[in-house]
């Protein structure tokens, strides 16, 4: 049920062309509401539409088309108008929540190398929102977990970078038990993605090494032990350094 809510919220955010962080706010509101109120399946989409509407009002400065949201939720404007104040009153109007996306942005200021995989980071946040109940897991824990898992895709020898993120998050007072829980959930849900990325990186490295070997053989044939070979060695060294630098990003 909850996965459908997250998926539909994301679909609605894409349709309305609102920031992706709108999804995080909507899911946060939904989780906190159902934590204290039982919700039937017959009002599930109407409730989700109300949460999306509240989130949109926080994120955009234009009038949100309620009729469009109602039609896509297979409900009517009156139901959304009824549920919107119900959600706000249940949460005592505490809707200005920090989102996992905002956490990632703040972390990116200190660890800029991870933000180079921005699309992957967004995907991981959405995956985590599908599996993690935002009523009791803090957005800061989700953001840190997604940041750490993203760093796994950057290089094979990136453990020191992960430790740096862990240390910084711990220093900021983030609940590391929740971070570990989110990391485990993410790794379980995208295990196939890890395998695919590692295979692609391994194949790319093999192709680069073969290309370098071919270039060096050609230079060896053309230049023998003379100046051309020396120049080729310098070029190969530069290529090797460039590859090492890229791996370390």
**Does the residue 157 lie in any domain?**
yes
Same domain flag for 202 and 182: no
CA distance 59 to 97: 12
134 and 86 both lie in a single domain: no
Statement to judge: residues 12 and 70 lie in one domain: yes
Task: Give the domain range for residue 56.
Answer: 2-90
According to DSSP, residue 6 is labeled: H
Cβ contact 154:114 at 8 Å: yes
The answer to the question of residue 211 being in a domain is yes
Instruction: Please report the pLDDT score of residue 241 as a whole number.
Output: 28
Gap between the Cα atoms of 181 and 171, Å rounded = 19
**What per-residue confidence (pLDDT) applies to 206?**
61
d(CA 113, CA 151): 8
Q: Same structural domain for residues 7 and 69?
A: yes
Copy the structure tokens of residue 14: 């894409």
Note the pLDDT of residue 158: 59
Q: Are residues 19 and 83 in the same domain?
A: yes
Q: Do 81 and 9 lie in a common domain? A: yes
Q: Tell me how many domains the chain contains.
A: 3
Q: For residues 105 and 135, state if they share a domain.
A: yes
Identify the domain boundary among 138, 157, 189. Answer: 189
95 within domain boundaries? no
**Residue 224: its pLDDT value, please?**
44
Domain-embedded: residue 81 = yes
**pLDDT at site 11:** 87
Take residue 59 and report the two structure tokens written for it. Answer: 């994120």
Contact 154, 249 (CB under 8 A): yes
Q: Are 106 and 183 members of one domain?
A: yes
Q: Is residue 40 part of a domain?
A: yes
- Phi/psi region, residue 153 (left: phi>0; alpha: psi -120 to 50; beta: rest), is alpha
Instruction: Give the alpha-carbon dihedral of 57, 85, 14, 187, to 10 degrees.
Output: 110
Same domain, 184 and 201: no
Q: What is the CATH number of the domain that holds 21?
A: 1.10.472.10
pLDDT score of 124: 84
Same domain, 112 and 57: no
Residues in the chain: 249
Is 77 found in the same domain as 151?
no
pLDDT at site 242: 31
Specify the pLDDT at position 137: 82
Residue at a domain's end among 189, 216, 232: 189
With respect to residue 38, please indicate whether it lies within any of the assigned structural domains. Answer: yes
Residue where a domain terminates, one of 167, 189, 211: 189
Left (φ > 0), alpha (ψ -120 to 50) or beta: where does 152 sit?
alpha
pLDDT of residue 13: 85
Angle at which helices 227-248 and 191-223 cross, to 10°? 170
Same domain, 108 and 157: yes
In a domain, 158, yes or no: yes
Of 195, 186, 82, residue with least CA distance to 141? 186
Q: Considering the domain boundaries, does residue 31 fall inside one?
A: yes
Contacts with 155 (C-beta within 8 Å, 6 or more apart), sequence order: 161, 247, 248, 249
- pLDDT tens by residue, the chain, 249 residues: 777 888 888 888 888 888 877 888 888 888 888 887 887 777 888 898 889 888 888 877 778 888 888 888 888 888 888 888 888 888 776 666 677 777 888 888 887 777 777 778 888 888 787 778 777 788 888 888 888 888 777 655 456 667 778 888 888 788 888 888 888 888 887 765 555 544 555 556 566 666 666 665 554 544 444 333 222 223 333 333 233 232 333
């Amino acid at each position: 049920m909850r996965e459908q809510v997250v998926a539909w919220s994301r679909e609605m955010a894409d349709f309305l062309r609102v920031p992706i962080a709108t999804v995080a706010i909507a899911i946060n509101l939904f989780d906190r509401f159902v934590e204290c109120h039982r919700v039937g399946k017959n009002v599930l989409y109407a409730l989700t539409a109300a949460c999306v509407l509240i989130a949109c009002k926080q994120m955009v400065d234009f009038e949100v088309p309620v009729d469009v949201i109602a039609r896509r939720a297979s409900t009517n404007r009156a139901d959304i108008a009824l549920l919107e104040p119900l959600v706000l009153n249940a949460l005592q109007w505490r809707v200005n929540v920090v989102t996992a996306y905002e956490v990632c942005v703040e972390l990116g200021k200190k660890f800029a190398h991870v933000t180079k995989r921005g699309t992957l980071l967004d995907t991981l946040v959405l995956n985590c929102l599908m599996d993690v109940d935002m009523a009791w897991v803090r957005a800061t824990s989700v953001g840190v977990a997604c940041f750490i898992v993203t760093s796994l895709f950057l290089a094979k020898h990136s453990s020191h970078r992960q430790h740096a993120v862990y240390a910084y998050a711990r220093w900021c007072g983030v609940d590391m038990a929740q971070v570990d829980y989110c990391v485990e959930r993410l790794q379980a849900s995208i295990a196939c993605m890890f395998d695919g990325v590692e295979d692609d990186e391994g194949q790319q490295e093999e192709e680069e090494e073969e290309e370098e070997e071919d270039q060096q053989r050609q230079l060896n044939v053309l230049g023998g032990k003379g100046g051309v070979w020396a120049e080729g060695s310098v070029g190969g060294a530069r290529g090797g350094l460039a590859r090492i630098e890229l791996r370390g990003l």
